[in-house]
């Protein structure tokens, strides 16, 4: 998931006293979730709507929905070709686009802009693999700007944060960003470099910017470079940034204008939707006139005849791939609760699936013991593993979002992350999860029980385990002393039934708790219910 957040006083200062309640109301239309405490307000989106990943963009969408603001394609002013691309760089990072954004000082939107840049990097950019963005203060550079491949030992500059001055090779080796993203440059001897007419280095994409064009709150004229290995990702990033700047009142000027003109032809691309298809999917007939109004409220332009809609899709709606996406937005604008109800005509009688009896029994037992059931994602982020200094799980190649890049092979790491998100809630917190994992190419159902309190201990979990096993008629189980990653040695045990290990319990190690920002002890049980079921049934 993608989260944007801001201090409540700052949001009220920028957008008014009613802005937060309006966002909460709009969540019923779009389908995001909100959370706030005494100081901070947070909005959590699905990763397929990067056009909403800032409060200002969210405000514009709300004005379209509630206040009849109508979408218009962005306009790009012509400017000379002041961004030159050397063909020798195409083998390193093939696609590139450049443009200018001219307006007032960025001011209060500065932090939001930088955060939005990183959200694009992580979502459509796949952590800069597909696309990376450089944002520069153009008052400190002289055009034309040149993008070329240079020898890593011959280019020297100071990084944007001023921490390292050295050759590109030294920066790749010693700077934090170089260590993190240097592997994205396929050559060790040649690096992609963007520099101005005076050979000041703007950036070494996709790794790090130089400090000569660092932006601040006072920057009013921006030069944006977007480089990547995927043309669609570069185009999507261009539209997202251009619409962002357009939304805060900036004028957009093209640099390599021929390439931008090709992109602009898709701003307002037409997607045809049959009214019969709308009726088939939504279960009720909505007139063409009503569909036009609903789509305008969702940020489209639209025309219609007696049987078809022609929806014009904004360039920053990279999530819209076909008619079904248009119909989904019609449903959101109409309101799912306003759709007609129909009883499905099924020729079967439902009953509990075989194998679920054990899960139902365990769920009943845990609720009876005072624990609250939770559900976390089967496909989650590698951050759960990185925070715990653990490299397990099944990696997904080319994930749609880095938030969903690993298939879990245990439950407790996701549960720890949930406790982190609820660390401000009252103690004790007693939760359990029954969910699927993938381990050694096999799928299993696991149970994880967790308790966080000022004095959570191994003994607490042993009592829960005793109660669970007694009710499952597995009194012959034993707990053998063992070590387990992320648990305290000497306070961890392996659960064994008939000589077969079915799980473990123990106290989470303080270093792991610190990684998850937890300040109170956590005790955990994790049991393979698939193994338990084979012992009982």
The pLDDT of 339-362, averaged and rounded, is 80
- The predicted pLDDT at position 358 comes to 82
Is residue 354's pLDDT more than 90? no
As a whole number of Å, the end-to-end CA separation of the chain is 39
- The predicted pLDDT at position 20 comes to 94
Residue located via tokens 């954004």: 101
Summary mean pLDDT of the chain: 89
Among candidate residues 273, 300, 298, 270, the one with its CA nearest the CA of residue 288: 273
Quote the CA–CA distance of 46 and 60 in Å, as a whole number: 18
- The predicted pLDDT at position 536 comes to 65
Residues 106 and 237 in one domain: yes
The pLDDT of 253-281, averaged and rounded, is 84
Among candidate residues 521, 522, 509, 511, the one with its CA nearest the CA of residue 483: 509
> Is residue 193 a contact partner of residue 96, using CB atoms and an 8 Å limit?
no
Confidence grade of residue 4 (pLDDT, cut at 50, 70, 90): very high
- The predicted pLDDT at position 271 comes to 94
User: Which helix (DSSP H) or strand (DSSP E) does residue 76 occupy?
Assistant: strand 76-77
Residues 233 and 303 in one domain: no
Confidence grade of residue 257 (pLDDT, cut at 50, 70, 90): low
Cross-strand partners of 227: 96, 132
Q: What is the token pair recorded at 287? A: 């007139």
Confidence grade of residue 149 (pLDDT, cut at 50, 70, 90): very high
The pLDDT of 126-155, averaged and rounded, is 92
Half-sphere exposure of 344 toward its Cβ, with a 13 Å CA cutoff?
Answer: 5
Provide the sign of the torsion angle of the four alpha carbons 25, 26, 28, 31, taken in this order.
Answer: negative
Residues 460 and 365 in one domain: yes
Is residue 323's pLDDT more than 80? yes
Q: How many CB atoms are located within 10 Å of the residue 87 CB?
A: 8
Residues 519 and 463 in one domain: yes
Cross-strand partners of 507: 523
Q: Considering 24, 49, 67, which residue would you say is the last residue of a domain?
A: 67
Residue 147 covered by a domain: yes
Q: How many CB atoms are located within 10 Å of the residue 475 CB?
A: 9
The pLDDT of 264-288, averaged and rounded, is 90
Q: What is the token pair recorded at 131? A: 């696309």
Q: What is the pLDDT of residues 16-56, one digit of tens each?
A: 999 999 999 999 999 999 999 889 999 999 888 999 999 99
Among candidate residues 526, 501, 57, the one with its CA nearest the CA of residue 299: 57
Residues 278 and 206 in one domain: no
The pLDDT of 315-342, averaged and rounded, is 92
Residues 145 and 279 in one domain: no
- The predicted pLDDT at position 475 comes to 75
Is residue 301's pLDDT more than 90? yes
Higher pLDDT, 260 or 341: 341
Using DSSP's 3-state secondary structure scheme, residue 270 falls into strand
Share of the chain above pLDDT 70, in %: 96
Residue 487 covered by a domain: yes
Number of domains in the chain: 4
Q: What is the pLDDT of residues 205-244, one digit of tens each?
A: 999 999 999 999 999 999 999 999 999 999 999 999 999 9
Residue located via tokens 């009252």: 426
Name the pairing type of β-strands 487-497 and 308-313. unpaired
Which domain, by its residues, includes 36?
A: 2-67
Residues 254 and 324 in one domain: no
Q: What is the pLDDT of residues 503-529, one digit of tens each?
A: 999 999 999 899 888 999 999 999 998
> Is residue 315 a contact partner of residue 265, using CB atoms and an 8 Å limit?
no
CATH at residue 10: 3.30.56
Is residue 259's pLDDT more than 90? no
CATH at residue 382: 3.30.930.10
Based on its alpha-carbon atoms, the radius of gyration of the chain, rounded to whole angstroms, reads: 27
Confidence grade of residue 533 (pLDDT, cut at 50, 70, 90): confident
Using DSSP's 3-state secondary structure scheme, residue 42 falls into strand
Is residue 136's pLDDT more than 90? yes
Residues 130 and 198 in one domain: yes
Residues 414 and 520 in one domain: yes
Q: Considering 308, 338, 368, which residue would you say is the last residue of a domain?
A: 338
Is residue 80's pLDDT more than 70? no
Residues 481 and 362 in one domain: yes
Q: What is the pLDDT of residues 428-446, one digit of tens each?
A: 999 999 999 888 778 889 9
Residues 522 and 382 in one domain: yes
Q: Considering 47, 67, 87, which residue would you say is the last residue of a domain?
A: 67
Q: Is the pTM of this model over 0.75?
A: no
Q: What is the pLDDT of residues 369-401, one digit of tens each?
A: 999 999 988 887 777 676 666 666 777 777 767
Strand ranges for 375-475 from DSSP E: 379-380, 394-395, 406-407, 429-439, 442-452
Q: What is the pLDDT of residues 448-490, one digit of tens each?
A: 999 999 888 898 899 999 999 888 888 788 889 888 888 999 8
Confidence grade of residue 253 (pLDDT, cut at 50, 70, 90): confident
Give the DSSP letter string of 198-254: T--EEEETTTEEBSTT---TT--EEEEEEEES-HHHHHHHHHHHHHHHHHTT-EEEE
- The predicted pLDDT at position 352 comes to 74
Is residue 131's pLDDT more than 70? yes
The pLDDT of 133-147, averaged and rounded, is 92
Residue located via tokens 């049959």: 274
Confidence grade of residue 340 (pLDDT, cut at 50, 70, 90): confident
């Amino acid at each position: 998931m993608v989260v944007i957040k801001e201090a409540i006083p700052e949001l009220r200062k920028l957008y008014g006293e009613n802005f937060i309640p309006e966002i909460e109301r709009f969540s019923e239309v779009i389908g995001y979730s909100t959370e706030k405490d005494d100081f901070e307000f947070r909005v959590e989106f699905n990763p397929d709507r990067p056009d909403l990943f800032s409060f200002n963009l969210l405000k514009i969408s709300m004005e379209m929905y509630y206040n009849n603001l109508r979408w218009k394609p962005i306009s790009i002013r012509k400017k000379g070709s002041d961004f030159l691309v050397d063909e020798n760089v195409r083998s390193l990072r093939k696609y590139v686009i450049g443009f200018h954004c001219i307006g007032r000082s960025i001011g209060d939107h500065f932090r939001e802009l930088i955060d939005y840049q990183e959200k694009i990097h992580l979502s459509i950019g796949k952590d800069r693999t597909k696309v990376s963005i450089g944002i520069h203060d153009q008052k400190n550079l002289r055009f034309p700007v040149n993008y070329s491949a240079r020898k890593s030992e011959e280019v020297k500059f100071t990084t944007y944060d001023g921490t390292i001055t050295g050759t590109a090779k030294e920066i790749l080796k010693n700077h934090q960003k170089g260590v993190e993203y240097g592997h994205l440059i396929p050559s060790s001897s040649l690096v992609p470099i963007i520099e101005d007419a005076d050979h000041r280095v703007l950036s070494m994409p996709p790794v790090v910017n130089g400090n000569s064009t660092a932006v601040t709150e006072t920057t009013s004229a921006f030069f944006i470079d977007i480089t990547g290995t995927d043309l669609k990702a570069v185009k999507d990033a261009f539209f997202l940034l251009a619409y962002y700047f357009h939304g805060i009142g900036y004028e957009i000027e093209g640099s390599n204008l021929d390439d931008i003109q090709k992109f602009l032809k898709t701003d307002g691309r037409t997607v045809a939707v049959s009214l019969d298809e709308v009726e088939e999917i939504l279960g009720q007939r909505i007139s063409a006139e009503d569909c036009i109004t609903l789509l305008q409220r969702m940020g489209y332009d639209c025309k219609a005849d007696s049987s078809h809609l022609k929806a014009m899709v904004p360039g920053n709606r990279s999530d819209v791939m076909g008619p079904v996406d248009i119909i989904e937005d019609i449903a959101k604008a109409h309101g799912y609760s306003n759709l007609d109800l129909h009883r499905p005509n099924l020729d079967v009688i439902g009953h509990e699936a075989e194998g679920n009896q054990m899960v139902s029994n365990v769920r009943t037992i845990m609720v009876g013991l005072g624990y609250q059931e939770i559900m976390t994602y089967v496909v989650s982020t590698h951050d759960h593993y990185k925070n715990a200094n653990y490299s397990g799980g099944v990696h997904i190649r080319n994930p749609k979002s880095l938030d969903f890049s690993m298939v879990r092979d245990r439950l407790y790491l996701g549960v720890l992350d949930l406790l982190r998100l609820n660390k401000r809630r009252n103690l004790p917190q007693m939760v359990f999860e029954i969910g699927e994992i993938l381990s050694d190419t096999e799928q299993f159902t696991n149970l994880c029980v967790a308790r966080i309190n000022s004095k959570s201990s191994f003994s607490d979990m042993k009592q829960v385990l005793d109660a669970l096993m007694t009710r499952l008629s597995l009194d012959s189980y034993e707990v053998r002393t063992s070590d387990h990653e992320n648990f305290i040695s000497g306070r961890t045990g392996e659960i064994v039934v008939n000589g077969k290990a079915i799980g473990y319990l123990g106290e989470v190690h303080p270093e792991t708790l610190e990684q998850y920002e937890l300040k109170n002890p956590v005790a955990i049980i994790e049991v393979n219910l698939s193994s338990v079921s084979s012992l009982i049934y």
